[in-house]
Structure 1
């Protein structure tokens, strides 16, 4: 019986894997500050730029959309972010705001 329970737990944890598991959320937080991401967000939502992540009509509704949106945002700041930086930023944003599985 324990063998089956283990397999069920393993299957459930695999089905809900973090899409940005190879990203470093701590570095992502540092990059978010370094690139001053909220400077643009404040102009779009006013006040606290982080409100862009939690607004009811937010554009990002999946892990794939988060990456696509980050591509647009990096262009807005005139940067071509390396793949690992994108992954780190996505890991941070997902951990703090989105919680995509």
Structure 2
């Protein structure tokens, strides 16, 4: 019974499958290449595009929402990222700013 409880706890805290192989370093490189923060500068209006991730009223409150938002940005900016690239970006943003499990 203890083993079952441990397995359930481990699976609840594990990253989703699409993020397990994602590389946050690669994601950071993609964010720089796409100039994401310059777009965020315009949208946030504070002169520091990274603050969009940290604001108290942010619209992203889970890994699923983060993945959706990255996909929306990919589409709007026409970056040409493949799904695995989006996963790298999600892993980067999660590690650096959001810290979701």
The match for 1:82 is 82
- From 6, 9, 15, the counterpart of 1:18: 15
- Name structure 1 gaps, 5 residues minimum: none
TM-score (norm 2): 0.84
Output one character per residue of 1:31-66: Cα deviation in whole Å (capped at 9) or x when no partner.
Answer: 111111101100111211010101011011111111
Task: Answer yes or no: is the 8 Å Cα contact 1:74–1:80 preserved in 2.
Answer: yes
Larger Rg: 1
- 1:2-81 equivalences in 2 (<5 Å): 4=2, 8-19=5-16, 20-45=19-44, 46-81=46-81
Distance 1:17 1:98 in 2: 16
Task: Give the 4+ runs in structure 1 shifted more than 4 A.
Answer: 6-10
> RMSD value over aligned CA atoms?
1.8
- Name structure 2 gaps, 5 residues minimum: none
Q: How many residues align?
A: 98
